[in-house]
């Protein structure tokens, strides 16, 4: 049975003032399945085309923190005390940083994990 989910692309905006971006991941939340995960992939050449001085190590570490925050474990920082829906809303809130969530979209899927894989292949790779 298909269930509703929400997702947002994760975007790298290495030079905020220029507004240029690449998709580097997707965060997906499905309330009915108590599912919250982010999957990320940094295409280094694309990012360096936008900003040759981008700090790839720092961006990789920040992307890892998105995945860790979704998991909500001991390494999840202050967000670990939040319920998955609260963490999702916190993660997709607008911010002016190098990594940002894009607009939130909705869909229906039987398997949120498989749908997350599909969205990453479609939007990131």
Give the tens place of pLDDT for each residue, 102-115.
Answer: 999 999 999 999 99
| pLDDT mean over 78-88 | 89
**Residue 77 scores a pLDDT above 80:** no
The answer to whether 69 touches 76, Cβ cutoff 8 Å, is yes
Range with lowest mean pLDDT among 18-27, 93-102, 109-118: 93-102
| Domain assignment of residue 41, given as a range | 3-123
**Residue 88 scores a pLDDT above 80:** yes
Sign of CA dihedral 104, 105, 106, 109: negative
* Region class of 34: left (phi > 0), else alpha (psi between -120 and 50), else beta: left
Query: Number of structural domains, the chain?
Result: 1
CA atoms within 13 A on the CB side of 14: 22
Residue 76 confidence (pLDDT): 66
């Amino acid at each position: 049975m298909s269930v509703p989910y929400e997702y947002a692309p994760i975007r790298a905006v290495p030079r905020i003032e220029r507004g240029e971006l690449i998709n580097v991941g997707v965060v997906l939340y499905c309330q009915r399945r108590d599912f919250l995960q982010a999957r990320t992939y940094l295409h280094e050449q694309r990012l360096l085309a936008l900003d040759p001085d981008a700090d790839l190590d720092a961006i990789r570490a920040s992307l890892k923190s998105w995945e860790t925050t979704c998991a909500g474990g001991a390494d999840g920082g202050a967000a670990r005390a939040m319920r998955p829906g609260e963490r999702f809303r916190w993660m997709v809130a607008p911010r002016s940083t190098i990594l940002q969530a894009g607009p939130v979209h909705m869909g229906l899927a039987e398997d949120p994990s498989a749908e997350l894989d599909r969205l990453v292949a479609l939007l990131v790779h």
